Amino acid sequence: MIGELFDPKAELLIAETCRPHWAQAGAIVFVTFRTADSIPNEVLERWERQKQDWLQRRGYPDLHWSETLSTMNPKDQKDFNIEFNRLREDFLDTNHGRCLLKRPVCSEIVANSLLHFDGVRYRMGDFVVMPNHVHLLCSFANPEVMREQFDSWQHYTAVQINRALGEKGKFWQGDPFDHLVRSPEQYEYLRGYIKDNPNKAGLSQGEFYYRRYEP
């Protein structure tokens, strides 16, 4: 594997932005970036209401879901993540928005950026560049490097893609989704998910960029 599995007994950093981000030194993380136009605001607002309703039905305090998630019992936390991660992933695979990453010139910018500091700042595993989002497996020496690298990838690729297209403006939705890998089985499942994502979305060769990690 490209790193260590999440250790619940080891030191953990939780950063609060638009959503909580868990990070641990050396741990493998599954990350999803999406383009700014990949999910309409009305869909995001509907999901926000559904999340709050989900918590209310289970008797949790009347707080925003991001404040409550880390305090849930393990089963509820797992069920919450499965339900709403599935909604997000299924919607992304409908290829909403302009889907600029379907263009090879754009997907190659992203792929080259992900691999540029591989083995120096991080260890890059499998990844796929889809028309409106990116999935990857990676590990970082420490949590601070992880957050800085997320920002670096998004800033650099946005500038380069806008330059290649002769455009300006926001390209990525700023806050990526990330999940620490808990078991060898989950690691293999996520590798399979990344590989199968283009087929699930009905894409043809040339409409995505897939990289499989080989030790």
Mean pLDDT of the chain: 92
- What the block records as the tokens of 90 is 């299924």
Query: Beta partners for 4?
Result: 27
Residue 164 main-chain phi, psi, to 5 deg? -65, -30
Rounded-to-integer distance, Cα 34 and Cα 130, Å: 9
Identify whether the C-beta of residue 143 lies closer than 8 Å to the C-beta of residue 26: no
Query: Poorest-confidence range of 5-19, 23-37, 148-162?
Result: 5-19
The structural domains of the chain, with segments of one domain joined by +, span 1-38+98-215, 39-96
Q: Which residue has the tokens 């209310």?
A: 56
Radius of gyration of the chain (CA): 17
Name which of 142, 113, 129 is nearest 29 in CA terms. Answer: 142
Q: Please give the CATH superfamily to which domain 1-38+98-215 belongs.
A: Transposase IS200-like (3.30.70.1290)
**Lowest pLDDT segment from 72-76, 96-100, 123-127:** 72-76
What's the rounded mean pLDDT across residues 78-99? 93
Residue 103 DSSP SS3: coil
> What average pLDDT does this structure show over 46-70?
91
CB–CB of 129/92 below 8 Å? no
Question: Which segments within the chain are labelled E, that is strand?
Answer: 13-16, 20-23, 28-34, 122-129, 133-140, 177-180, 209-211
Pairwise CA distance, residues 159 & 176, whole Å: 18
Distance between CA 191 and CA 152 in Å, rounded? 24
Q: How many CA within 13 A on the CB side of residue 202? A: 5
pLDDT tens by residue, 109-126: 999 999 999 999 999 999
